[in-house]
């Protein structure tokens, strides 16, 4: 009877270490999959580069000593880039005047399938070339001569907070964790 109990304890210890290892590995796989899927779904809904999304995502991997894993988004807004822009120029003033200046109306594709007009506010945005070729959207901050700042889009963290995006991300994460945990528990040498 005593040797039976020792064998059972040995089996329980092996099973416990196998569960911890499987849990840790499954969490890490799920977090990696969530990062990839969140980048994909954010790009499908918003007009943003993959590298801009990836830069804002930070992953904390699980370890055997600390079995918690997480994914966080750094909340900083990305600048408006050239593919997002759609500008129209409208004549202002009388046509008879020489050199009547043209006012720019800047529209932006932040969310795919919709346009946002940026020409509101006290200081109107304008297009500006930086470094010879890079085109940015800038806006005056005050009435001083060189006080401009770059106009930015919605932060990636807010894009991921969209109800459809977060629901899809959580669904993918739980499915991946369940499938990977079952697979690892069936293996004999984890």
Question: 11-50 as b/e, with b when 16 or more CB fall inside 10 Å?
Answer: eeeeeeebeeebbbbbbbbbbebbbebbbebbbebbbbee
Compare 71 and 142 and report the one with higher pLDDT: 71
Per-residue model confidence (pLDDT) at position 23: 92
Does the structure show a pLDDT above 60 at 93? no
Does the structure show a pLDDT above 60 at 152? yes
Does the structure show a pLDDT above 60 at 102? no
pTM of the model: 0.70
pLDDT digits (tens, 9 = 90+) for 58-74: 999 999 888 899 988 88
Strands 57-60 and 70-73: antiparallel
How much is the mean pLDDT over the chain? 79
d(CA 190, CA 70): 23
CB atoms within 10 A of CB 59: 13
Average pLDDT over residues 64-91: 76
DSSP 83: G
Chain position carrying tokens 């099973």: 15
Q: Which of 81, 79, 77, 61 is nearest to 69 (CA)?
A: 61
First-last CA distance in the chain: 29
């Amino acid at each position: 009877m005593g040797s039976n109990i020792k064998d059972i304890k040995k089996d329980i210890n092996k099973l416990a270490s196998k569960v911890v290892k499987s849990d840790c590995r499954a969490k890490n796989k799920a977090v990696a999959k969530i990062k990839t899927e969140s980048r994909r779904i954010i790009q499908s809904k918003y007009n943003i580069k993959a590298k801009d999304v990836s830069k804002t995502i930070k992953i904390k991997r699980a370890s055997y000593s600390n079995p918690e894993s997480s994914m966080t988004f750094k909340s900083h807004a990305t600048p408006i880039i050239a593919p997002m822009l759609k500008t129209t120029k409208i004549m202002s003033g009388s046509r008879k005047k020489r050199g009547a200046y043209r006012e720019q109306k800047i529209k932006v594709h932040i969310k795919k399938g919709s346009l946002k007009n940026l020409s509101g506010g006290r200081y109107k945005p304008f297009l500006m070339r930086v470094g010879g070729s890079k085109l940015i959207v800038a806006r005056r901050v005050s009435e001083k001569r060189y006080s401009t700042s770059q106009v930015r889009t919605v932060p990636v963290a807010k894009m991921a907070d969209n109800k459809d995006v977060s629901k899809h991300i959580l669904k993918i994460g739980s499915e991946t964790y369940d499938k990977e945990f079952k697979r690892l528990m069936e293996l004999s040498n984890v």
